[in-house]
Amino acid sequence: MEKCDRPGSGAVLWGILADLFILLLSLLVIQYHQGSPNDRLNLILQKDAVLKRLPANLIKSMEAEKIAVLSESDQPSRPLADQAHTLALAMEQDRQERHRMRKLNAR
């Protein structure tokens, strides 16, 4: 077995080892930063629940608003208008929650 007499072969080996160490460290940081698989699953389930509520609240709000507008007098239309307003606020909260989850997912 011949000894490698090329100058700098030790430096190349140390360079490769340093690159592997940096790669391993980067992978660990990425894994730690993303959280556990359970955290990611919970985030996906929360996002799914919010996305399912958004269209339902939109339809309910539109129906309540439509009935309120078509009411013959103000008295019966007021509770429906209040209900439409409440559902619109719920929709806005879901939209903000979706935006917050999107930011968390982007990290």
pLDDT in tens, 54-87: 888 888 888 888 888 888 888 878 888 888 889 8
Domain ranges of the chain: 1-34, 36-106
pLDDT at 4 (0 to 100): 55
Q: What is the pTM of this model?
A: 0.53
CB under 8 Å to 46, separation ≥6 — which residues? 97, 101
pLDDT in tens, 15-51: 888 888 888 888 777 766 666 667 778 878 888 888 8
Check whether 106 has a pLDDT greater than 70.
no
Q: Which of 60, 21, 43 is nearest to 105 (CA)?
A: 43
Check whether 107 has a pLDDT greater than 60.
no
- Nearest-5° angle of CA 19, CA 25, CA 26? 90
pLDDT at 53 (0 to 100): 86
Torsional sign, CA 63, 64, 65, 70: positive
Under the banding of pLDDT at 50, 70 and 90, the label for residue 6 is low
pLDDT at 2 (0 to 100): 55
CATH class entry, domain 36-106: mainly alpha
